[in-house]
Amino acid sequence: MKLRSIFNFVLILFIAGQSLFAQHIGIIPQPQEVTVFKDSLVVGKVLNLSANEEVGIATIQYLRHALADKYQIYSTINKDKEVQISFGQLKLTKEVHEEEYELTISNNRITIVAGHPHGYFNGVNSLLQLMAFYETPTGIKIPNLKIVDSPAYGWRGFMLDESRHFFGKKKVKQLLDWMAFYKLNKFHWHLTDEPAWRIEIKQYPFLALVGGIGSYTNPLSPTQYYTQEEIREIVAYATERFIDVIPEIDMPGHATAANRAYPQFSGGGTKDHPDFTFHPAKEGTYQYLTNILKETNVLFPSNMLHLGGDEVSFGSEAWNADASIQKMKLRYNYRTNKEVETHFMRRMADSVYHIGAKLVVWDEMADAGLPKDKTIQYWWRHDKIAQLELALENGYATVVCPRIPFYFDFVQDEKDRHGRKWGRVFNPLESVYNYDLDPLKAKEQYPNQILGVQANLWTEGISTIDKLDYMIFPRIAALAETAWTKNDRKNFTEFQQVLKKHLQLYKTDRIYYYDPFNKTLSEPQVEILTKKYLDNPE
């Protein structure tokens, strides 16, 4: 051992002895292993990069743009010059996880090594986080350190509902930027529901043109939807950031906007939820929806289609008065509407499998008999933990996203008035941070079946961009650490210290965040809801 290494080793022991080892290094989510050394690196104003091909040009450009935009550091890629940031191949005897990376900061060099492109990208984001955390008015000075990191969970998701209110390309891209910064990797896009349909389908143009009219607060607002061109652009943007985009085309319920455009496929609804369902007894319905899914799937390289399957009972009472559905029940010997619903979902699941995609559904489908190797379940009903148990027992890979604490339409401050609470229950930052993703303690019984976690933002009560920001930030940071960092590396007090710096980053990005420390920004005032959420208990 060289003298310097011995010195560093002793320093590590010294730091460990002071129990600073678990201290947050300034990166959210906190990496799994961090070793801090004595000196620091002063980041210069020109950085020369060297990289192997596997890193990918998109990741290199992502880094170069971030350096230029945020720090006015104009980087070069010049083989003949001294290198300050180098990317290299991780050589390990064990198999390297695709998201794993090592980041080393020494006196004069930053090194990121990984075994796969996604690992390099994660390393780059850790570096950008360090730069943000250690930036001062006189420059950026990062402690010498070594990080060895990989995620606790592979599914780290966020869902945005753009049916109730439409926010548009610019906002979605900004959200994807923050997701990437926090190493979130699944964007679930809820594009169809009661108020509006938001995705262009060329074979059925009225879906967007007619179905896109209106929002939750204004049923007559001019049509708003994403053209296929725009969807391609957003998906490419996400893909460069290693984020899979999963579209949701909700069925057989939540189909109101589609039924406005093509009423011949409506299965009816109730007084409060008219035309809520697709028609389960018409052969044409299955062909129509399969055509829609085929067109949709081409736009999304994730090759995952979310078909919803939730809350069908809010409209399926109408099926009792429909002669052709009653005939269908007799034919198949079904007694309940739930059996018809299952029939519908099995048929549409078949279409998804024929398309070659993976099916994603809400937990109402945990007992629908869908093939377990081709289906992912989302457990959302926190008050029905039996549904999670059922999904796991039935062998499904499952994403944990219980309303409490992962529905971000619940307020995060007891005093806030514009948002959901169930009784006195709401979703503060700390609940998001401290949630144990194995609520049944079933990890050993069902190894690898819990894929990870997702936060869902329903937007009935979110009619402005400020309100949207206010509900997402900073809970998105807590979500990221819950998803990525192993429990024994987490510490809410230390997380909050780093978060204080992140609030400044939100401000620079013109985000109207909720400030859990000083309440500097007041709750945005939004239109008062006239209707209730479907799943409210009272």
Nearest to ligand ACM by Cβ — which residue?
310
To the nearest whole angstrom, how small is the minimum distance from the Cβ of residue 163 to ligand ACM?
Answer: 12
CA 454 to chain CA centroid, nearest Å: 6
**Three-class secondary structure of residue 395 per DSSP:** coil
Distance CA 36, CA 8 (A): 9
Nearer CB in complex with ligand ACM: 164/329: 164
Nearer CB in complex with ligand ACM: 118/306: 306
CA 57 to chain CA centroid, nearest Å: 24
Q: Record the tokens describing residue 55, joined without a space.
A: 């890193």
Nearer CB in complex with ligand ACM: 244/310: 310
Distance CA 227, CA 232 (A): 9
Nearer CB in complex with ligand ACM: 360/478: 360
Nearer CB in complex with ligand ACM: 30/375: 375
Which residues in 499-538 contact ligand ACM (CB under 6 A)?
535
Nearer CB in complex with ligand ACM: 166/362: 362
To the nearest whole angstrom, how small is the minimum distance from the Cβ of residue 311 to ligand ACM?
Answer: 5
Do 146 and 103 form a contact (C-beta atoms < 8 A)?
A: yes
To the nearest whole angstrom, how small is the minimum distance from the Cβ of residue 535 to ligand ACM?
Answer: 6
Nearer CB in complex with ligand ACM: 194/310: 310
CB-side exposure of 324: number of CA atoms within 13 Å? 9
To the nearest whole angstrom, how small is the minimum distance from the Cβ of residue 398 to ligand ACM?
Answer: 14
To the nearest whole angstrom, how small is the minimum distance from the Cβ of residue 342 to ligand ACM?
Answer: 17
To the nearest whole angstrom, how small is the minimum distance from the Cβ of residue 477 to ligand ACM?
Answer: 23
To the nearest whole angstrom, how small is the minimum distance from the Cβ of residue 199 to ligand ACM?
Answer: 19
Which residues in 123-182 contact ligand ACM (CB under 6 A)?
none
Distance CA 423, CA 200 (A): 39
To the nearest whole angstrom, how small is the minimum distance from the Cβ of residue 391 to ligand ACM?
Answer: 14
To the nearest whole angstrom, how small is the minimum distance from the Cβ of residue 352 to ligand ACM?
Answer: 18
CA terminus-to-terminus distance, the chain: 69
Distance CA 365, CA 380 (A): 12
Please enumerate in sequence order all residues whose Cβ is within 8 A of that of 142, keeping only pairs 6 or more positions apart, or say none: 40, 41, 43, 105, 130, 131, 134
Nearer CB in complex with ligand ACM: 185/387: 387
Residue 197 bridge partners (DSSP): 192
CA 492 to chain CA centroid, nearest Å: 21
To the nearest whole angstrom, how small is the minimum distance from the Cβ of residue 402 to ligand ACM?
Answer: 10
Nearer CB in complex with ligand ACM: 132/411: 411
**Three-class secondary structure of residue 311 per DSSP:** coil
Q: Record the tokens describing residue 371, joined without a space.
A: 């093939």
CA 477 to chain CA centroid, nearest Å: 12
Distance CA 408, CA 42 (A): 39
Which residues in 329-368 contact ligand ACM (CB under 6 A)?
362
To the nearest whole angstrom, how small is the minimum distance from the Cβ of residue 400 to ligand ACM?
Answer: 13
Nearer CB in complex with ligand ACM: 295/311: 311
To the nearest whole angstrom, how small is the minimum distance from the Cβ of residue 250 to ligand ACM?
Answer: 9
To the nearest whole angstrom, how small is the minimum distance from the Cβ of residue 362 to ligand ACM?
Answer: 5
To the nearest whole angstrom, how small is the minimum distance from the Cβ of residue 370 to ligand ACM?
Answer: 17
Q: Record the tokens describing residue 345, joined without a space.
A: 């979902």
CA 383 to chain CA centroid, nearest Å: 22
380 binds ligand ACM (CB under 6 A): yes
313 binds ligand ACM (CB under 6 A): no
Q: Record the tokens describing residue 403, joined without a space.
A: 């309303």
Do 429 and 478 form a contact (C-beta atoms < 8 A)?
A: yes
**Three-class secondary structure of residue 113 per DSSP:** strand
Contacting ligand ACM (CB under 6 A), which of 54, 230, 311, 393?
A: 311
Do 142 and 131 form a contact (C-beta atoms < 8 A)?
A: yes
Q: Record the tokens describing residue 474, joined without a space.
A: 């900073």
Q: How many CB atoms lie within 10 A of CB 438?
A: 12
310 binds ligand ACM (CB under 6 A): yes
Nearer CB in complex with ligand ACM: 226/380: 380
Nearer CB in complex with ligand ACM: 346/384: 384
Nearer CB in complex with ligand ACM: 158/380: 380
404 binds ligand ACM (CB under 6 A): no
Share of the chain residues as helix, strand and coil, in percent rounded to the nearest 5: 40, 20, 40
Distance CA 171, CA 496 (A): 26
435 binds ligand ACM (CB under 6 A): no
Nearer CB in complex with ligand ACM: 362/426: 362
Tell me the number of residues near ligand ACM by CB under 6 A: 5
User: Pattern of binders to ligand ACM over 42-81, x per CB under 6 A?
Assistant: ----------------------------------------
Task: Name the helix (H) or strand (E) containing 9.
Answer: helix 3-17
Angle between helices 169-181 and 228-240 (to 10 degrees): 20
- C-alpha distance from residue 537 to each of 382, 422, 483 (Å): 12, 8, 28
Q: In the complex, which residues of this chain contact ligand ACM (CB under 6 A)?
A: 310-311, 362, 380, 535
